[in-house]
Amino acid sequence: MKRFLLTLTIALIGLSSFASNEETIVSEKALQSFKSSFKDASEISWSVSESYFKASFTLNGQYVAAYYSTEGEMIALTRNISSLQLPIALQASLKKGYDEFWISDLFELANEEGTSYYITLENAENKVVLKASANSDWSVFKKQRKS
């Protein structure tokens, strides 16, 4: 349950901007874990919350974010992707059920539970966030009516 709540928090943060003007102090364990996993990373910036550290960086031309526990263990990775990078079945089901919407955000989340996809779709009246794993269909993660 704790991991689910942490994954949920990470997903919601990935759907919104994450910024802080405070000086960021990252644990040495998280820094070492990051350096050993992502030697070729560039444009690295760190953010801190009460329960995890977030490293935002560029790797092989892609924006990536890595989340670490306070003990320095990697919790999850996210990356922004295009709709063409989704599994074919997920692409097809989007076209069937949400043809009148446009995509405003899409990212992939990888953690110990596997890979999940979060997509934000909008039309003139509604904004909906869907979640899916590579071997499942889309389910509504969050829905709101625009003002």
Mean pLDDT of 99-119: 95
How confident is the model at residue 18, as a pLDDT? 44
Residues 69 and 122 in one domain: no
Task: Give me 34's structure tokens.
Answer: 């990051």
Indicate the residue among 21, 43, 78 that finishes a domain. Answer: 78
Indicate the residue among 25, 60, 78 that finishes a domain. Answer: 78
* 44 touches 134 (CB < 8 A): no
**CA 52 to each of CA 42, 49, 99: distance values in angstroms, whole numbers, following the listed order:** 21, 5, 37
Q: How many domains does the chain have?
A: 2
Mean pLDDT of 3-16: 53
* pLDDT tens column, 47-84: 998 889 999 999 999 999 999 998 999 999 999 999 99
Residues 10 and 62 in one domain: yes
* pLDDT tens column, 116-126: 999 999 999 99
Indicate the residue among 59, 78, 97 that finishes a domain. Answer: 78
Mean pLDDT of 18-34: 74
Looking up residue 40, the CATH number of its domain turns out to be 3.10.450.360
Looking up residue 109, the CATH number of its domain turns out to be 3.10.450
Residues 39 and 66 in one domain: yes
How confident is the model at residue 24, as a pLDDT? 65
Residues 36 and 57 in one domain: yes
Tell me phi and psi for residue 5, to 5 degrees.
Answer: -65, -40
Q: What is the extent of the structural domain holding 128? A: 83-145
* pLDDT exceeds cutoff 90 at 147: no
